[in-house]
Amino acid sequence: MRMMPIQTGRRLMLFSMALIMLHGCWFFQWDYCGPHRYKIQFGNETNDTIDLLLIPHDHSESITLFPDSLVLHAEFCLDEDEDPFIDGVFSELDNAWWDEISIRWNDTMLHTWNGPYGTVPDTIRSFFNENSWELVESEEGLEGHWDIRFIIKESDIVDNQEN
């Protein structure tokens, strides 16, 4: 049995450790997220259990919102110079999340909002109006973490109404 010289063994060990450390750095860099993290949440302030249908997604797939609930839909990260609505929620670069939203209750379509995204006065209630959303600091208390919420209200559940 031939023994490996100490120098070669140390070199092999140092090379292996360096490889592991570099791989770890690459892993963390690959998982890099901008300094601002956002969570898209949907809430329900109505007295009914409703379904949100995000279209062009499949109508059979929906987000069920129970009364007084808040549901996490997605998360994304942005750099400081990016807008959370234009570059995040309604980003055209990432194949916009949706271009139509419907509220369904007991297999009946109650309300549909159609895009595109815009900013109009907050008196105009629409899923695609930035002023109808809430942007609040995350309850986690972490700097740079935000929640973007669209809350369904009783006034949104109007049969056959479109905005």
Q: What is the pTM of this model?
A: 0.72
Domain ranges of the chain: 1-32, 36-162
Name every residue whose Cβ is closer than 8 Å to that of residue 133 and which is 6 or more positions away in sequence.
Answer: 85, 89, 148, 149, 150
At 115 the pLDDT is 83
Query: Please, which residues bridge with residue 159 across strands?
Result: none
Burial class (CB in 10 A: 0-12, 13-18, 19+), 128: buried
Joined together, the tokens standing for residue 20 give: 């592991």
The per-residue pLDDT string of the chain (163 residues; one tens digit each, 9 = 90 and over) reads: 555 555 666 666 666 666 565 555 444 444 467 788 999 999 999 999 999 988 765 556 789 999 999 999 888 999 888 989 888 888 876 555 677 888 988 888 888 998 888 898 988 999 999 999 999 988 877 778 899 999 999 988 865 444 4
Helix or strand holding residue 24 (H, E): helix 6-30
pLDDT confidence of residue 70? 95
